[in-house]
Amino acid sequence: MDLRTVNKRRFKAEYAWGYLFIMPTIIGLVILNIYPLFDTLVLSLYKKQGLVGMKYVGLENYVKLFGDSLTWQSTLNTFLYVIYTVPIGIFLSLILATMLNNKIRFKSLFRGIYFLPIVVAPAAVTLVWKWIFNSEFGILNQFLNLLGIKGPVWISTPGVTLIAAAIIGIWSNIGYDLVMILAGLQSIPGTLYEAADIDGVNAWQRFFYITIPQISPVLFFVTVMRTMNSLKQFDTIYLLVDRSNPAFRSTQTLMVQFYIEAFQKYNQGYGAAIAAWMFVIIMLITVIQFIGEKKLVHYT
């Protein structure tokens, strides 16, 4: 056997193994993701007929979707939720991580405590906070009463409920961002700071000109994660308000609207249209974020 044949055989074997190893995943992705992507788009062109039928209606679902003020309200709510949770959440995590990144004791303990909300289910967490936010008997308003402030009816005042949901969202996710940012902070080479000290740089300048750029990849990552999670937030909003709640319209996000239409009212065509709309929004935001990455993130 000459070398060429041996090599050919080896390559063929390698190809075979390669395909074999990736086959389950690829087949899975095709069935679970590629096909569904097209199926959703096709479905969005159909409308429920009676109890079990589907009828082709072209773009009618989209016309209805964008003509319904509820859709725009949901979209607005979704954006508001992101705006409430992402900047404040990351800001707080950044501060906490910076604080932790000092020569203090009990670092692991603190880290463990802040990370705790991450491991427990959002469903359970939301129920606990629902109780805390209860306007007459919840501990938050009772506490505010002590300070002489009359707390709002958190869960059924339009506008306020979304803020309550945001508070829950921030509380639940600080730990994750904190851990990430802390890891980023800890990987900044000390030499950079030493060089800065020699140059007589003050603390603010250290922070803005060294620390932030050094951890900008982590900050970017955390921002993307947080934004994506907030856009797709379902559990908290769904459990906080139901249809008979006066604050429902001002709190419902696109994800909740999607679920209600597709799986409670069983309008799968209309639900698919909502999913498509969410897809467009998320893609747009992703593009914006990547443009931001190019401009603001400093990779060493």
Partner 1 sequence: MTKSSIAYKLRKNHVFIYFFLILGSFIMIFPFIWMILTSFKTISESMMVPPTFMPESFLFNNYKDVLQLLPFKNLYINTGLLILFRIILAVAFSSTAAFAFAKLNFPLKKVLFTIVLAQMMIPAQIFIIPQYRILAKMNMLNSLFALLFPGLVSAFGTFFLRQFYMGLPDELVEASNLDGCNVWQTFIMILFPLTKTAVIALAIFTAIFAYSDMMWPLIVNMEIEKMTLSAGLSTLNAGFSTNFPVLMAGATLAMLPMLALYLVFQKQFIEGIALTGTKA
Partner 2 sequence: MKKLLCFVLCLAMMPFVFSASAENISINFSIWDKNQQPGMEAIAAAYTEKNPDVTINVQVTPWSEYWTKLQAAAAGGSLPDVFWMHSNQFYVYAEAGTMLDLTDLNIDYSPYPEGVTAMYQYEGGQYAVPKDYDTIALAYNKEIFDNAGVAYPDDTWTWDTLLENAKKLTDKEKGIYGYGAPLHDQEGFLNFIYQNEGYEFKDGKSGYDLPETREALQFYIDFALKHEVSPTPQSFADVGADDQFKAGRLAMLNVGTWMMSDYTVYDGIKDKFDLAVLPKGKVRASIYNGLGYAGAATTEHPEQVKDFIKFCGSEEANIIQAEHKAAIPAYAGTEKYFVEQFSNINIGAYPEMISYGVPFPFSQRKSLWINTEYENLGAVYSGEFTLEEACDRMHQTITEVEAE
Among 112, 158, 159, 189, binds partner 1 (CB under 8 A): 112
21 contacts partner 2 (rule: CB under 8 A): no
Compute the Cα dihedral for 211, 215, 95, 101 and give only its sign.
negative
91 contacts partner 1 (rule: CB under 8 A): no
Q: Considering only residues 269-298, where is the footprint of partner 1 by CB under 8 A?
A: 271-272, 275-276, 278-279, 282, 286
221 contacts partner 1 (rule: CB under 8 A): yes
Nearer CB in complex with partner 2: 122/184: 122
Q: Which of 126, 130, 122, 125 is nearest to 155 (CA)?
A: 130
CB atoms within 10 A of CB 242: 9
Beta-carbon contacts of 288 under 8 Å, excluding residues fewer than 6 positions away, are none
3-state helix, strand, coil in the chain (%, to 5): 75, 5, 20
- As a whole number of angstroms, the distance between CA 245 and CA 234 comes to 17
Q: Which of 94, 131, 134 is nearest to 114 (CA)?
A: 94
105 contacts partner 2 (rule: CB under 8 A): no
- As a whole number of angstroms, the distance between CA 7 and CA 220 comes to 45
Q: Of partner 2, partner 1, none, which one sits near residue 239, judging by CB under 5 to 8 A according to partner kind? A: partner 1
110 contacts partner 1 (rule: CB under 8 A): yes
Among 136, 190, 295, 299, binds partner 2 (CB under 8 A): 136
40 contacts partner 1 (rule: CB under 8 A): yes
Q: Considering only residues 50-89, where is the footprint of partner 2 by CB under 8 A?
A: 50-52
**CB of 172: closest distance to partner 2 in angstroms?**
22
Beta-carbon contacts of 16 under 8 Å, excluding residues fewer than 6 positions away, are none
146 contacts partner 2 (rule: CB under 8 A): no
Binding positions for partner 2, rule: CB under 8 A: 50-52, 134-137, 153, 155-157, 243-246, 263-264, 266
